[in-house]
Amino acid sequence: MARARLDNARARRLFLHRHLLAEAPSGPGKGADLLDLVTRLGFVQVDSVNTLARAHDMILYARRPAYRPGNLDPLLARDRSLFEHWTHDASVIPTAFLPHWQLRFARDAEALRARWPRWQGEAFLAELTRVLEHVRAHGAVSSADLKGEAAQKSTGWWDWHPSKAALEYLWRSGALAICHRQGFRKFYDLAERVTGPATPPDPQASLDWLNRNALDRLGFATSGELAAFWDIATPAEARDWCARERAAGRLEEIEILDTQDRPRRVFARPGTLEEAAALPPAPPRLRVLNPFDPALRDRARAERLFGFRYRIEIFVPAPQRSYGYYVFPLLEGETMVGRIDMKADRATGRLQVTRLWPERGIAFGKGRIARLEAELGRVTRFAGLEGIDWAPGWLAEAK
């Protein structure tokens, strides 16, 4: 029997709706509205690169233009309705999900104890108890607070002294939690003093929750994509979950088409095709996305769905870059229309636009340039800048 099939346009629309980029970008972007936004996304990646604004701030701004960077901290440091830990990378996560992170803590503890001593040696293991007791007695600390004499014993691995490695291990394994930041400097305290006690569910209940909630946020996925979403379940565990759910009639296998009309088998809930057919189109607004936006995090999926090939070139030598150091994707409606190389010049308070590359087949005529200028004006205000400087020849030919 032929599988049900979702054409590329409807698959893209459904995917954007699930990633909250097909809704009108409105709302206060703070308090309960901001917590609901992060909860619906599942998590928001945190990254230290700040050529314009931090990754997490830009991800939230793209969906809530009223959002400002100071709106996130009260949910983390005051209300404790969000916490920081790992998904595929360092992320901000709803504290309501914390019980299921107990599985993550246990698995990270086992994996890191097996790996890290090979880099950090016995000094790292010996520091664990000392660091934990220090935090218990004295309260929140940063790695700099513990450096002191231990710095002389540094192994050189990421220039981490043993107590820094111990802090990271205790955080990754759930004994400590990030209680606040000063800039991008993290302070750690006992987890029970930050987020309170959390009773671990049965591991199978957590695996069911993780896979089910990953699918809810993706709309359709392979088992490998489900496992990669939170990066807690293994690929084998996600495959087993899909098989059980399919046998129970709670999942079906369908095909989605890429931009070249090539089919790919994925899992979806019954009724997904009907849902996709009924969804309204995304607003035509042009939006600047961050390279770590959840809609683009899986580069291969973004290329299949949108025909948009994106790679971070931070670590590529400048003469070998195809585009630039930190280039921002441009989404207009349901189409990736280009990428732009720009950065904040804090000394002058200006946004420096170096280059824009349209996607193949996309023209930047007067109308689209006007929409781009309007969006960059909004981004400039969001970043606390006063104006825009356009480099000569900023509009490149499509590659």
Q: pLDDT, tens digit, for every residue of 249-261?
A: 999 999 999 999 9
Query: Which of the four pLDDT bands, split at 50, 70 and 90, describes residue 118?
Result: low
**Mean pLDDT to the nearest integer, 279-296:** 97
Residue with the bigger pLDDT between 283 and 112: it is: 283
| Domain contains 71 | no
Residue 327 maps to which CATH number? Answer: 3.40.630
Cα distance between residue 20 and residue 63, in whole Å:
7
pLDDT at 157 over 70: no
Across 159-180, b (16+ Cβ under 10 Å) vs e yields ebbbbbbbbbbbbbbbbbbbbb
End residue of a domain, out of 171, 195, 219: 195
End residue of a domain, out of 131, 166, 195: 195
| Domain contains 116 | yes
**Mean pLDDT to the nearest integer, 113-125:** 68
| H or E element at residue 332 | strand 327-332
| Average pLDDT score over the chain | 93
End residue of a domain, out of 168, 195, 222: 195
Cα distance between residue 373 and residue 370, in whole Å:
5
| Domain contains 89 | no
| Domain contains 351 | yes
pLDDT at 61 over 60: yes
Domain that holds residue 292: 286-390
Give the C-alpha distances (Å, rounded to integers) separating 382 from 34, 53, 58, 62, 243: 16, 9, 9, 11, 46
**Mean pLDDT to the nearest integer, 122-147:** 85
pLDDT at 10 over 70: yes
**Mean pLDDT to the nearest integer, 208-235:** 98
DSSP 293: -
- Overall domain count for the chain: 2
Query: Which of the four pLDDT bands, split at 50, 70 and 90, describes residue 11?
Result: very high
pLDDT at 159 over 50: no
Q: Would you state the pLDDT for residue 113?
A: 82
pLDDT tens for 65-80 read 999 999 999 999 999 9
| Domain contains 364 | yes
| Domain contains 280 | no
Distance between first and last Cα of the chain:
41
| Domain contains 65 | no
Residue 135 maps to which CATH number? Answer: 1.10.10
pLDDT at 155 over 50: no
pLDDT at 117 over 50: yes
| Domain contains 342 | yes
Query: Which of the four pLDDT bands, split at 50, 70 and 90, describes residue 120?
Result: low
Query: Which of the four pLDDT bands, split at 50, 70 and 90, describes residue 239?
Result: very high
